[in-house]
Amino acid sequence: MPTGLADAATWSTIALTLELAGLTTLILLVLGTPLAWWLARTRSWWKGPVGALVALPLVLPPSVLGFYLLVTLGPAGPIGHLTEALGLGLLPFTFAGLVVGSVLYSMPFVVQPIQNAFEAVGTRPLEVAATLRASPLDTFWSVLLPLARPGYLTATVMGFAHTVGEFGVVLMIGGNIPGKTRVMSVQIYDHVEALEYTQAHWLSAAMLAFAFVVLLALYLLNPTGQRRIGAS
């Protein structure tokens, strides 16, 4: 294997990418569950606008989202002012900034499968649990979560894989700082710019194989995930 794939800098980039994808997926599962539940159950007029906002990254160019995040989180932006006032510093060009951008950009890939799963469960199992005097928390863990497990599996796999493959958002909000914000997609771009096609080939092939294996496993373990991916 070429040394370009095995050097310390490349392994650091791979580790950073996996850390970002894992943390982003965890945050989205925690934040996306109540949001998906509300979208699945509400009859409010706000369901349309909120659903559109969640799905916006599916059609919005990543560079556009990254640009507005850079402005909002920067020194002249409202969130930038807030984080500086709280003593947190500025988020752009930091790992925390990458997490914020990744959470927003990968949100539909996690929220929509969970929402679809909640809608598929329906209200009947919840009503039965209520008649048995199960608490809302017990109903969620014992009834809703097991029935919605295929949706959670799809959401976890798609959220993680999509974050691994991000480029435009992470480059805009995180830049290209070795060991801090340089992820695999940016590393490939660097190799191509430097005409290091062998290194770019190995990293690209690794990501291609990763994406194929992840999706193949999802299709084999969760056949219903095929429809859910299309809905995402």
Least confident of 60-64, 141-145, 186-190, 200-204: 141-145
CATH number at residue 33: 1.10.3720.10
Residue 232 has pLDDT above 50, yes or no: no
Q: Give the tens place of pLDDT for each residue, 13-72.
A: 999 999 999 999 999 999 999 999 999 988 889 999 999 999 999 998 888 999 999 999
First to last CA, the chain: 36
pTM: 0.86
| Domain around 213 | 3-231
Q: What is the DSSP letter of 74?
A: S
Cβ-proximal residues to 171 (8 Å cutoff; 6+ apart), any chain: 66, 185, 186, 189
Give the model's confidence band at 88: pLDDT under 50 very low, under 70 low, under 90 confident, else very high: confident
* Rounded Cα–Cα distance for residues 194 and 102 (Å): 26
Confidence of residue 176 (pLDDT cuts 50, 70, 90): confident
Domain count, the chain: 1
Place of tokens 């480059």: 171
Q: What is the pLDDT of residues 121-140, one digit of tens each?
A: 887 887 788 788 778 788 88
Model confidence at 226, pLDDT cuts 50, 70, 90, reads very low
Q: Which long-range contacts (CB under 8 A, 24 or more apart) does 186-189 make?
A: 187/10, 187/13
Q: Round to whole Å and give the CA distance between 32 and 52.
A: 15
User: Residue 97's closest CA among 63, 74, 77, 75?
Assistant: 74
Going by C-alpha positions, the residue among 156, 141, 164 that lies closest to residue 228 is 156
Mean pLDDT for 177-186 is 89
What radius of gyration, in Å, describes the C-alpha atoms of the chain? 20
List Cα–Cα distances, 62 to 57, 104, 188, in angstroms: 7, 10, 17
